Structure 1
Amino acid sequence: MLIGLEIKNFAIVSNLSTEWHNGMTAITGETGAGKSIAIDALSLCLGERADAGAVRPGTDRAEICAQFDISQLPLAQHFLEQHLLSNSEGECLLRRVICKNGRSKSYINGSSVTAAQLKEIGQYLISIHGQHAHQHLLKAEHQLHLLDAYAGHNQLLADVKERFKAYQALIKEFNQLEQQQQQQAAQKQLLEYQVAELDEFALQPGEFEEIEAEHHKLSHSQTILESCQRELQHLYESDEQSACSLLQHSAQQFTELASYDESLSSIASLLSEAAVQVEEASREIRSYVDVTDLDPARLDEVETRLTGAMDLARKHHIKPEELVEFHQSIAEELASISYNSDRLVALESEINNALEQYKQAAKLLSESRHKYADTLNQLISDSMANLSMENGRFAIDIQQTSDKAPSAMGFDTVSFLVSTNPGQPLQALSKVASGGELSRISLAIQVIIAQRVTTPTLIFDEVDVGISGPTASAVGKLLRQLGKSTQVICVTHLPQVASSGHQQFFVAKEIANGETYTQMNKLSKEGRIDEIARLLAGDNISKMARANAKELISAHA
């Protein structure tokens, strides 16, 4: 439970230190004094979002410390042990520092933590019910949460969520495998077309280089033949002087000259050899010209083959020389594609089994919800009667729709129904209850559920707005009764509710040196009488008002 709260430089609070006790604590004060300031500070200390506006003007930072006794709270102890934040005193100290630039720091037992960790441990320490809690009551998901909280469905919900996750995982695997096979089918179709096209073209290893060279030759064959014939004339067949005849003539001349000078014989030999070489070259040229014909059809054939290869290469964004290797690789890829149909069939069976297990877990949860809904219906109807709704009836409608997709919360759809007048049929809360009635119904539900949910400290922030008279007295009795089993802190403006508290704080606003300060002080017995009298009669407290205040307080003693 909460045992201490210190607030520094928060909003209009300069410095505030309070001690808290068992039972029901009422917080009252003048309008605008900041009765909810302690609760707002606690919310920040429990991890709520902070901003620079929380820092008191003229100061650098706000600081809030909340001290809890967790000696009887095993869940809170486990959290601290799990995160290595325990101390040996059975206490837990939460601290939040908010700087004027909007940044904040969080601490648990002196160790730096995240705001999320503050929020996580906060669920084991305090439950805050604000004055707008009844608005959440109109939402179907919140109604379902309240029913499960009252019934203590933690294990059943965990079972349903576990089965749901297993079912979802199988569905995901099935969808992925099916999508993969669809993609493979599309890929196979593409590869089949590509391989068939390349098979039909049937380019052989090294063929492209060969036809490229042949095309180059054939496209220049006319020029080659004409040049060969011309040069043959020059070398050997000219009627005038050919190169061969000139060499032969020169060789003959140097042979004759060598008879006079032996050193010229080598020249004669060289010229003779040259003549022989020219004659041999001429015979080869003649042979080449004789066997080479101009073949336009072959040129067209080679050109078509070469163009086809280049077109295929461009189509696949590769070089023509790489076509054969590419053909082989996609043929192998096509051969490697196989469909895992067996796994799809197995998955269908596993999905059906997982769905059946999910349905069984969801059925157990639904059966328990119906059981506890019957109990809640009677308790809340009785509580409505105590809150001046004598003819009120409350019912929780639980529906199961066969076509509803599985979810982590089961198959149930929950709706809170109410009838506030005799003869009026049960209808949804939003259609029947007025604002005041909805506030009372909400309070009744919160108190009843709080008796089952083991949160050690319950805070009610002006949840009694819109009620008065006998109803206010009933609310006070309800909260005081709840205070016997758990710590209850209630911000109120009603004397009937305030007088029900085991102790009471008074919040006042003061102005000094042009600055506003809020103070919260625990009231003595006489102080409580004066404050209850003020709530009854206003600032002009009469003897009768004080007598009424004494009577209200004594009624709960």
Structure 2
Amino acid sequence: MLLNLAIKNFAIVSFVEIDWQKGMTTITGETGAGKSIAIDALGLCLGSRALANTVRPGSNKAELTATFEIADIPKASKWLSAHDLQQDNECIVRRVISAEGRSKAYINGSPVPLAQLKDLGQYLLNIHGQHDHQLIMKNLEQRRLLDDYANHQELLTDLKFYQNQWHSLKSELQILQQNKQQRLAQQQLLQYQVKELDEFALQEHEFTQLEADFKRNSNAQQLLLLSEQCVQEISADEQFNLLDKLQKATEHLNQLAELDSSVKSIATLVNEARIQFEEASHDLVDYQQSIDLDPQTFALIEERYSTAIDLARKHKVAPENLVDFHQNICKELNAIASDDSRLEHIHDEMENCLVAYKELACKLRTSRIKAATKLEKAITKSIRQLNMPDAIFKLDVTEKDILEPTAHGSDDIEFLVSMNPGQPVEPLAKVASGGELSRISLAIQVILAEKVVTPTLIFDEVDVGISGPTAAKVGQQLNKLGESTQVICVTHLPQVASKGHQQMFVAKLTDGKNTQTSVTELTLDARENEIARLLAGDEITKTSLANAKELLAG
């Protein structure tokens, strides 16, 4: 429940702090005094949009702080815990609005986005404005009221899931269909390219080997000649070769080493060099023998090497990247085939999704019809207690044909009413007058408040157009509601004001230069005077005072 509201530099308020009690609190005051100032401040605390005149003239910012007791509001506690904003059993919501229109929001001292104030606010209080009765003439609002009464949130969430899934599948289908011709042309091209490369079947790293083999074979004669020269110079020339010279040098060094041991390491190095040259000579001979001068083998290598280069040039890739290109277009071709397969199955998925959606929509319709029967009886009973003794309220649930799933099912919801005996029920907007709409709206709000538990309910002059005995009935209903829920009601009716467990008086004070609003909790004597003023105007008489005492006693 709401515990405290502090308002600083807001509109024409310099500073006001209000402590709230359980039960029903009524707010009264003179016309133009700003009776709804506390309601507007609470709305801003919980995320409403700030207007240009929010900040008091001459001030640089407005500060609004509301404190709530949340021990008995598990949804609010859960929300705060989920956002790491929990603080014992209290929740302090603060909004700071600069004169330039910039806004900052805080929950339990932590800065938060404005959207989070709105999210949290739905668990803390519910504000019913004086123009809400105009909303109930709209079919969308009528459906929302019925769904709130029947607690359909879970069903609607499930319905929304299938609606989103169906529309997602539809979008995918449209994209696939739009691109079908383009994919077909691309598929034909890729099939030709893949077939050509499949037939060539170049293996990974094969081009590098082909390039080396082509270079080796095309230079085979020169390789033979050069290798032969090397063999001659190292070991085969009878007149002069390196091995013979190294052998003689090794023998001379060995002789030196016998005379001077310091030369031994040099002799060892030269001997090792001789051995290496000998091994190199053997390897060169083996290399010579490996050189293939077979024209047929060279022709095959040349043909494959040339074909690889031609294919690479044709597909605008480097020859060494031809294998990667081949793999990539294979994947692209498979993806197109996958799209075609997806196109074949997506209709089935959409149909299955639609079947699941319709099952839920049917379940929702059944529940709506059941809830509508209960709600129309409750509303009929309630509005008859508000001086419409012959009124009949009906709630029509009609299945409609839908081409596509919607977030709210396939039902049209319409409020119907008959105000006089023998008169057929007709749409609410066609039959009810302004005062009757106010009473019907109030009856619905009270019934929903009992069904959809909100810890604090605020009624901002919802009794407009109501007077006399009807006003007394309204006051009794709100008082009864206050036994289980905190109710705050801004009113101009003495019959309603007198039913509050607590009464606040709003006054506008001016010194000729500055104007500000004050909010005062009334004592019993002050309440008698205020109720008498509401009954008789500014001039309080003994009769009006006696009537005020009678209303308060009742």
| TM-score computed with the length of structure 1 as normaliser | 0.73
| 1:47 pairs with 2:65 | no
Deviation (angstroms), 1:357: 1.1
Question: Matched residues in 2 for 1:51 and 1:548: separation?
Answer: 41
Identical residues among aligned pairs (%): 54
Aligned amino acid, residue 17 of structure 2: S
| 1:121 pairs with 2:120 | yes
- RMSD of equivalent CA atoms: 2.6
- The residue aligned with 1:138 is 137
Question: Matched residues in 1 for 2:408 and 2:385: separation?
Answer: 33
Aligned amino acid, residue 13 of structure 1: V
- The residue aligned with 1:500 is 499
Aligned amino acid, residue 477 of structure 1: Q
Aligned amino acid, residue 155 of structure 1: E
Question: Matched residues in 1 for 2:160 and 2:187: separation?
Answer: 40
Question: Matched residues in 1 for 2:511 and 2:185: separation?
Answer: 81
Deviation (angstroms), 1:323: 8.9
Deviation (angstroms), 1:403: 3.6
- Pair 154,32 (structure 1): closer, same or farther in 2 beyond 3 Å: same
- What SS class does the counterpart of residue 451 from structure 1 fall into? helix
Deviation (angstroms), 1:365: 1.0
Question: Matched residues in 1 for 2:93 and 2:39: separation?
Answer: 14
Question: Matched residues in 2 for 1:433 and 1:404: separation?
Answer: 34
Question: Matched residues in 2 for 1:78 and 1:536: separation?
Answer: 46
Question: Matched residues in 1 for 2:532 and 2:344: separation?
Answer: 78
- The residue aligned with 1:253 is none
Question: Matched residues in 2 for 1:51 and 1:463: separation?
Answer: 23
Deviation (angstroms), 1:401: 1.5
Q: Which whole-Å deviations, capped at 9, do the CAs of 1:352-381 have from their partners, x for residues lacking one?
A: 221111111111111111101000000111
Question: Matched residues in 1 for 2:147 and 2:447: separation?
Answer: 13
Where does the alignment leave 5 or more consecutive residues of structure 2 unmatched? 193-311
- Would the aligned equivalents of 2:402 and 2:410 in 1 still touch at CA under 8 Å? no
Tell me whether 348-357 or 373-382 shows the greater mean CA deviation. 348-357
- The residue aligned with 1:161 is 160
Q: Which whole-Å deviations, capped at 9, do the CAs of 1:227-258 have from their partners, x for residues lacking one?
A: xxxxxxxxxxxxxxxxxxxxxxxxxxxxxxxx
- The residue aligned with 2:10 is 10
Q: Which whole-Å deviations, capped at 9, do the CAs of 1:37-62 have from their partners, x for residues lacking one?
A: 00011111111111442111111111
Aligned amino acid, residue 451 of structure 1: E
Deviation (angstroms), 1:423: 1.7
- The residue aligned with 2:446 is 447
Deviation (angstroms), 1:513: 5.4
Deviation (angstroms), 1:169: 2.9
Question: Matched residues in 2 for 1:63 and 1:444: separation?
Answer: 35
- Would the aligned equivalents of 1:51 and 1:98 in 2 still touch at CA under 8 Å? no
Aligned 1:458-477 pairs, distance under 5 A: 458-477=457-476
Tell me whether 538-547 or 171-180 shows the greater mean CA deviation. 171-180
- The residue aligned with 1:99 is 98
Aligned 1:473-484 pairs, distance under 5 A: 473-484=472-483
Question: Matched residues in 2 for 1:480 and 1:129: separation?
Answer: 16
- The residue aligned with 1:82 is 82
- The residue aligned with 2:225 is none
Deviation (angstroms), 1:495: 0.4
- What SS class does the counterpart of residue 407 from structure 2 fall into? coil
- Would the aligned equivalents of 2:149 and 2:448 in 1 still touch at CA under 8 Å? yes
- Pair 404,529 (structure 1): closer, same or farther in 2 beyond 3 Å: farther
| 1:374 pairs with 2:402 | no
- The residue aligned with 1:515 is 514
Aligned 1:8-407 pairs, distance under 5 A: 8-88=8-88, 90-185=89-184, 324-325=314-315, 336=333, 338-340=336-338, 341-407=340-406
Question: Matched residues in 2 for 1:472 and 1:27: separation?
Answer: 15
- Would the aligned equivalents of 1:404 and 1:411 in 2 still touch at CA under 8 Å? no
Deviation (angstroms), 1:404: 4.3
Aligned amino acid, residue 373 of structure 2: D
- Would the aligned equivalents of 1:160 and 1:409 in 2 still touch at CA under 8 Å? yes
Tell me whether 383-392 or 487-496 shows the greater mean CA deviation. 383-392
- The residue aligned with 1:408 is 407
- What SS class does the counterpart of residue 508 from structure 1 fall into? strand
Aligned amino acid, residue 23 of structure 2: G
Deviation (angstroms), 1:347: 2.0
Question: Matched residues in 1 for 2:435 and 2:480: separation?
Answer: 22
Aligned amino acid, residue 386 of structure 1: Q
- What SS class does the counterpart of residue 105 from structure 1 fall into? strand
- Pair 134,404 (structure 1): closer, same or farther in 2 beyond 3 Å: farther
Deviation (angstroms), 1:339: 4.2
Deviation (angstroms), 1:538: 0.9
- Would the aligned equivalents of 2:190 and 2:333 in 1 still touch at CA under 8 Å? no
Aligned amino acid, residue 82 of structure 1: A
Q: Which whole-Å deviations, capped at 9, do the CAs of 1:422-464 have from their partners, x for residues lacking one?
A: 2221111111111111111111111111111111000000000
Question: Matched residues in 1 for 2:548 and 2:478: separation?
Answer: 18
- What SS class does the counterpart of residue 354 from structure 1 fall into? helix
Question: Matched residues in 2 for 1:166 and 1:333: separation?
Answer: 32
Deviation (angstroms), 1:162: 2.1
Aligned length: 429
Question: Matched residues in 2 for 1:396 and 1:517: separation?
Answer: 47
| 1:425 pairs with 2:424 | yes
Aligned amino acid, residue 462 of structure 1: E
- Pair 451,192 (structure 1): closer, same or farther in 2 beyond 3 Å: same
| TM-score computed with the length of structure 2 as normaliser | 0.73
Question: Matched residues in 2 for 1:342 and 1:55: separation?
Answer: 62
Deviation (angstroms), 1:152: 0.9
